[in-house]
Structure 1
Amino acid sequence: MDSRACVQGGLHWVVPGTDCREALPFVSLSLSLSLSLSLSLSAAFQECLSTNVWKRDVKLGNDVVVVLRNKLSYVLYQAGSPEPKIVKRGCEDNFDQGEDLAEPIDHLILVVSGPVPEHPNLARLGFRASSDTVGSLVDAVDAMRYNRRELIASHFEMTTDSKSTGRVELLPVIWQHDMAAVRDATEIMNMLSLPTAVRIRHFLKEALLDAVTYAVERQACVDKVAAAVAETIHRFRANNPAFTGSVNVMGHGLGGVAMFDLLAAQGQENKTEVAAVDAAVVGDDATPAPIETDPSTEEEAVQLPAHLADDVTLEALLKEHEFEDLLPQLQEEGIDLESFAQLNTTDMKDLGLNMGRRKKLEKVVEDFAQRQAQKEAYLEKARQAALVQQQERALQQRRAQAEAAEAKAKAAAAKLQQAQREAHTVQFPVLEEQLAALFLCGAPVGWALAQRVAADLTAESRLKTCERVYNVFHPYDPMAYRLEPLVDETMVELPPAQVAHANRSGRRLHKELQTYLRGAGRDLRQELTSFAGSAVTSFSEALRKRTGKGLEDYGVNASNLKQLVSSTDTSMLAEDGSTRSVSQLNPERRLDYMLQEAPTEAVSQSLFALDAHTAYWNSEDIVLFMLENVYGHE
């Protein structure tokens, strides 16, 4: 802070400077005096102090009068107010000056939020503010610092032999996307939004704006996150040259997704999340292979049988059967082969033939007509076969054209997809710092990985520049997703590991009650099992004495009855397996961790779901979880 210029800014991060001024008098959280009125009141106070004359009225306009009774008591009278109000000056008597900034720092935790700036409610963070006053990421980190100091004092013992000072610095990483575009999109969404279900629509608006901004401007987002992280670490090391502790990152929401993507790409050249286009798919200029056809199916001259293949003339036919003397007469009458086949007995009489020659000529005409009919039938059959072949060739051609068109369409679509993938390929910048842990708080990393084609999270997956990953989420957070089922599908049946509560027992009150009831149920089942075993044994012995047969002789086994009595639903007794490692992302412990909901939140999941995504900022459990894991790996 520059006291002369009355400007304050960030020491380890870059933010526009804000005005700072002396503490203003205030009446309540929602009513503080302006700077001009404060200066008038201060001048009157100095005059009263120098002259030692008090009980002076100072008019501040708007029917507001402040009476200076003495140097410790100011009273404000306002028109329309039945009672006077006490005017307080500066800070409360129990003002906390904070920790010693010269004290060495053990570890560093950077806090990264999403593309859309955070606006936490200051009253919920514990600040002295009205219920509708919102702050920034810097205010949220300030609240986490306060919780960190309280937890260090109550949960960690720093002995004189310990090299740790108990100071873990939390710094906000200030990176902002194109704020003009964000404001414009926010104004448009506000204009289009309906006036009903305001809280739900507000949450969806911020969540959608975060997701869409990161999806569309992913390259710009990761570049800005990497630059802001590197700049913050550089400034921190410049101001703390003796720092030798670990560097950790807490990623909230889409900020956690950006950090995971950035760390996952370290050490991999030209990393892309999409699969390559199938090599079998060709470009737009591809043409289908020609269809091979059987030469025998091509159109050619019809091959007739030998007895039908010879071409016969009228002269040859008459000469063959010794009727050549009739040729001039038939030609004179205009008879050809076609009409010759239609001659009948009357026609033959007209030619002057006797009965004997008529019978012979009738036989010749009948044989010739039969031969012509056979030839015509054979030719018709050949024409039908040729027509069928032609239709088949046309069908094959249409199929070939359709296949060619389909192949061309697929090639064009593949080329377009490849162009889109290349346009959205992200070139991740290099992050030089080696991180100890990445704490994902309400970050939908699991959802983001599930949407990507080439995203493959296995048991051998790890981040080369980050030792451990913790996926922490509130049970009601709509933005939270698990990671472990992506590695091992059997982990769906195993609930996430539970984050310890900040009290001494590590469990909230309703969780303690559930544990007690489960223990009481187990004790009751053990007693019933023991009683059933002894009762069955006694009854079997008595029955054997009277009848000579026991329960075993009737097919009743005492051990089966014990098992029936002691049977119970073991799912409620399942351990969370917090020490089980499922991936090299966290070689020693699990990936998924779930906060314990407050007793009031357990009443209705839907009612408290909208506030669950911002509950991490004022959660003591989150801060304690990070401190335990940071100090636990020293």
Structure 2
Amino acid sequence: MSSQVKVEASPPSVSSASNEMETTMTYEAVIPHWFYHKIQDDRGSWNPFSREDSDQLEAAFCSGHNPNSIVIPVCGGRYDVYLGSRRMLSVYWDEEDSEVQRCTWFYKGDKDNKYVPYPENFSETLEDAYMQAVTRNEWKKRLESPSRDLIILHNPKLMVHYQPTGIPDEWGGTPSEQGRPRTVKRGVESISVEILQGEPAQIDHLVFMVHGIGPACDLQFRSIVQCVNDFRLVSLNLLHAHYKKANEQVQIGRVEFLPVNWHNALHADATGVDNDIQRITLPSISRLRQFTNETLLDLFFYNSPTYGQTIVNTVCGEMNRIYQLFLERNPAFKGCVSVTGHSLGSLILFDLLTNQVDPTLSSRLRAKASEYNAEPQTPKQTLKDVLEALELPEFLSVFEKEMIDIETLAMCTDQELKGLGIPLGPRKKILQYVKRRGHLKESNFTTETSLVGDLTQPPLSSGSTLNVVNYEYFDVGIGQVRIDYPQLSFHPQIFFAWGSPIGMFLTVRGLKRIDPNYQFPTCKRFFNIYHPFDPVAYRIEPMVLREEEFEPMLIPHHKGRKRMHLELKEGLTRMGTDILGSLRVAWQTFTRPPMPSLPPSTAEAAPLSVSNLSLATEANSAVKLEEVSVKEEPIHLDVGMLNGGQRFDYVLQEKPIESFNEYLFALQSHLCYWTSEDTALLFLKEIYQTMDISMDQPIQ
């Protein structure tokens, strides 16, 4: 840290009567703060480091060590600052280098009225002039910047910067004061800039975020890195606001969000696909066609065997690379990992997680296969064992005559078996066994249950209309093109999908129902989060529970209530229901036949008959019918095991202005998740709930 130096002005001379009345001024050295900005963005704004990062950089600067050998991790360890070259480089992704500067003096720039720091050397010149002006009480000092601008120090509270519009004379004279004066400030405390305190060093959870189509992720055409930075900042603010007790007890640190960019790998020069597409693109409406080539074509690329494989390899490879690098830079990390996908990115993650292999399931898979009397992993199993298990021992002699063993049987076709004289029924049993045997040998089918049903579920008949696609002819059982899915080097704890078209893609692939017992092999929890006006989002729960009509789970507002317009709408709906119920009960009362009178309560009175008793209680039952229906407990919905038996379709609350025109905000709704506080709070709630840490006040 820069030391504070106090220099008192020399005593005024006796002959100067005016200086005798002036008080002694004290000089204190300016406190520097470190800033950064993109090197290639000459007019870009300068951004301050957090106070913790700035103090760390200042301590390294004042340490006296060779600056060329000093590398300081900043911004939560996502960047490294090379102090000697004054450069900041990203760690986990490719990004333009940023220039780093130790800043003390600033002037107001033309762009957004933000303050721009002077270069370090000239800032030292300004500081020396300021110190002399304070100690000697001599102001009106004029200084010329390296760009020949004029800076005048009128007094401690008035310092201006002139950018002359005139041209210096031929003798190299200094231009006069011209142009609009700019304000000059000394020290970061005197300018209006937000400086964050810093991020906790402890990382509790790591989340990978995969983008959707195109290089831009929001309406401002920002990259995935910028959008993830915003989401990280939103979540950090919510963490401080909703987990104060846990923060005070040092139970939690923070959640780290890292972007996964696959668009650049697909559209880079390595594939050459952009040049091929450009060669066949029509010249008309060029901007619209360029937008289509950069964004919408990603959907077709993913359904292509060639480029779909490239996308999957890139996503999986990037997550594995970043994860290993993260562990190297954070050796004390003991938390879990989750994944998030937006739009097409959620579909990529869904297919990738569907095809992960859990080694712990191998024993259960063999036990499941034994239920079919088809143990593919047992080398001692003979043809005789198979035929006896299929209750077809009478055909053993036929196969032995043709010297057909169990391996040869797996290569026989229906026509070949028919040529051996095997009837239709036994042929179907044998072919079904062969199909299951090959199905279980595939590495993609090592999960305990498949997406379309349990392995013990009998095959559909040929006349069944529930499912006309034979999924066993596909590699993953859901109609996807043939892709060799790589394996992740970690097991995700939660999979969050934003604005996801997963439900639509599964449907058009031919899948009408998801088996309730299905869950991802290596990921036990899943959330399908969407905005109600998102045109790309689809529900998934109705594919599991087809018999019920039910609403998705409503994501609470981050302030702990419903939005006002939704509460008003719900209140009016409830009021209308109460009025209709009252009118219905009144109408039933008027139209019901008169009730028979009860017999007198005497000892000789005959006991009430069953018919009279039922008539007597009919009125009370009719009156209480509406009350009973209202107080009836909600029926528990079994939506399967995708989220461990819990609900997984979650809908955001639209804003009041969005309710006026759904179509106007449709595109914005698909891109709103990156800055959604409600979504970020749901993330934190589910992540820390697994760590048995709850919020200060539960959100209802």
Structures share fold, TM-score greater than 0.5: yes
Q: Distance in 2 between matches of 1:592 and 1:631?
A: 20
> Quick one: which of 328, 348, 363 aligns to 1:238?
328
Q: Distance in 1 between matches of 2:632 and 2:277?
A: 45
Secondary structure of the 1:470 match is: strand
Q: Distance in 1 between matches of 2:281 and 2:87?
A: 34
> Quick one: which of 614, 627, 632 aligns to 2:684?
627
> Quick one: which of 87, 90, 94 aligns to 1:15?
94
> Quick one: which of 483, 491, 511 aligns to 2:566?
511
What RMSD over aligned residues (CA atoms) do the two structures have, in Å?
5.0
Q: Distance in 1 between matches of 2:584 and 2:309?
A: 64
Contact 1:45 1:68 in 2 (8 A): no
> For each residue in 1:310-353, what CA deviation from the matched residue of structure 2 results, as whole angstroms up to 9, or x when unmatched?
xxxxxxxxxxxxxxxxxxxxxxxxxxxxxxxxxxxxxxxxxxxx
Query: Cα 1:594–1:88, aligned 2, differ >3 Å: closer, same or farther?
Result: farther
Query: Cα 1:597–1:69, aligned 2, differ >3 Å: closer, same or farther?
Result: farther
> For each residue in 1:82-140, what CA deviation from the matched residue of structure 2 results, as whole angstroms up to 9, or x when unmatched?
965546686855633343443x222222211136333445xxxxxxxxxxx64322221
Query: Cα 1:77–1:8, aligned 2, differ >3 Å: closer, same or farther?
Result: closer
Query: Cα 1:83–1:466, aligned 2, differ >3 Å: closer, same or farther?
Result: same
Secondary structure of the 2:673 match is: coil
Letter in 2 for 1:45: L
State the Cα distance separating 1:55 from its structure 2 match: 5.3
Secondary structure of the 2:665 match is: helix
Contact 2:545 2:639 in 1 (8 A): yes
State the Cα distance separating 1:601 from its structure 2 match: 0.9
1:520 is matched with 575
Q: Distance in 2 between matches of 1:185 and 1:55?
A: 64
> Quick one: which of 117, 123, 126 aligns to 1:45?
126
Q: Distance in 1 between matches of 2:321 and 2:285?
A: 41
2:237 is matched with 150
Query: Cα 1:609–1:423, aligned 2, differ >3 Å: closer, same or farther?
Result: closer
Query: Cα 1:514–1:51, aligned 2, differ >3 Å: closer, same or farther?
Result: same
Q: Does 1:215 align with 2:215?
A: no
Matched ranges for 1:215-614 at <5 A: 215-216=303-304, 217-267=307-357, 424-453=481-510, 457-491=514-548, 493-505=549-561, 507-524=562-579, 580-614=637-671
Query: Identity of counterpart residues, as a percentage?
Result: 27
> For each residue in 1:127-177, what CA deviation from the matched residue of structure 2 results, as whole angstroms up to 9, or x when unmatched?
xxxxxx643222212211221122122223434896731422222224432
Contact 1:8 1:17 in 2 (8 A): no
Q: Distance in 2 between matches of 1:424 and 1:527?
A: 58
Query: Cα 1:10–1:280, aligned 2, differ >3 Å: closer, same or farther?
Result: farther
> For each residue in 1:260-279, what CA deviation from the matched residue of structure 2 results, as whole angstroms up to 9, or x when unmatched?
1111001289xxxxxxxx96
Q: Distance in 2 between matches of 1:448 and 1:565?
A: 47
Contact 2:199 2:254 in 1 (8 A): no
1:97 is matched with 196
State the Cα distance separating 1:465 from its structure 2 match: 0.6
Q: Distance in 2 between matches of 1:618 and 1:189?
A: 38
Q: Does 1:111 align with 2:209?
A: yes
Query: Cα 1:559–1:455, aligned 2, differ >3 Å: closer, same or farther?
Result: closer
2:407 is matched with none
Q: Distance in 2 between matches of 1:261 and 1:210?
A: 16
Letter in 2 for 1:264: T
Secondary structure of the 1:605 match is: coil
Query: Cα 1:48–1:245, aligned 2, differ >3 Å: closer, same or farther?
Result: same
Matched residue count? 457
> Quick one: which of 252, 256, 277 aligns to 1:169?
256
Q: Distance in 2 between matches of 1:576 and 1:195?
A: 55
Contact 1:116 1:177 in 2 (8 A): no
| Higher RCO (CA 8 Å, separation ≥ 6 residues) | 1
Contact 2:303 2:481 in 1 (8 A): no
Q: Distance in 1 between matches of 2:122 and 2:319?
A: 45
Letter in 2 for 1:105: I
Query: Cα 1:225–1:68, aligned 2, differ >3 Å: closer, same or farther?
Result: farther
Larger Rg: 1
State the Cα distance separating 1:469 from its structure 2 match: 0.9
Q: Distance in 1 between matches of 2:633 and 2:276?
A: 46
Query: Cα 1:565–1:61, aligned 2, differ >3 Å: closer, same or farther?
Result: farther
Contact 1:189 1:205 in 2 (8 A): no
Contact 2:107 2:161 in 1 (8 A): no
Contact 1:525 1:565 in 2 (8 A): no
State the Cα distance separating 1:614 from its structure 2 match: 1.4
Query: Cα 1:61–1:575, aligned 2, differ >3 Å: closer, same or farther?
Result: farther
Q: Does 1:136 align with 2:223?
A: yes
Query: Cα 1:47–1:158, aligned 2, differ >3 Å: closer, same or farther?
Result: closer
State the Cα distance separating 1:472 from its structure 2 match: 0.7
Letter in 1 for 2:97: T
2:142 is matched with 56
Q: Distance in 2 between matches of 1:87 and 1:209?
A: 50
Q: Distance in 2 between matches of 1:496 and 1:202?
A: 37
Contact 1:266 1:431 in 2 (8 A): yes
Letter in 1 for 2:100: R
Q: Which has the higher helix share?
A: 1
> Quick one: which of 87, 106, 109 aligns to 1:27?
109
Letter in 1 for 2:194: F
Contact 2:585 2:623 in 1 (8 A): no
- Specify every segment of 5 or more residues in structure 1 that has no aligned partner in the other structure, as ranges: 122-132, 270-277, 283-416, 542-556
Contact 2:525 2:642 in 1 (8 A): yes
Contact 1:499 1:596 in 2 (8 A): yes
Contact 2:532 2:654 in 1 (8 A): yes
Contact 2:204 2:252 in 1 (8 A): yes
Secondary structure of the 2:533 match is: coil
State the Cα distance separating 1:517 from its structure 2 match: 2.2
Contact 2:541 2:648 in 1 (8 A): yes
1:545 is matched with none
Q: Distance in 1 between matches of 2:358 and 2:512?
A: 14
Secondary structure of the 1:158 match is: helix
Letter in 2 for 1:21: V
> For each residue in 1:193-216, what CA deviation from the matched residue of structure 2 results, as whole angstroms up to 9, or x when unmatched?
6489x7xx8986654133123223
Letter in 2 for 1:179: H
Contact 1:494 1:576 in 2 (8 A): no
Matched ranges for 1:184-203 at <5 A: 192=283, 194=285
Letter in 2 for 1:15: D
Q: Distance in 1 between matches of 2:162 and 2:341?
A: 47
State the Cα distance separating 1:75 from its structure 2 match: 4.8
State the Cα distance separating 1:21 from its structure 2 match: 2.9
Q: Distance in 2 between matches of 1:157 and 1:427?
A: 46
Q: Distance in 2 between matches of 1:495 and 1:267?
A: 33
- Specify every segment of 5 or more residues in structure 2 that has no aligned partner in the other structure, as ranges: 1-80, 134-138, 167-177, 360-411, 417-472, 596-615, 692-700
State the Cα distance separating 1:41 from its structure 2 match: 6.3
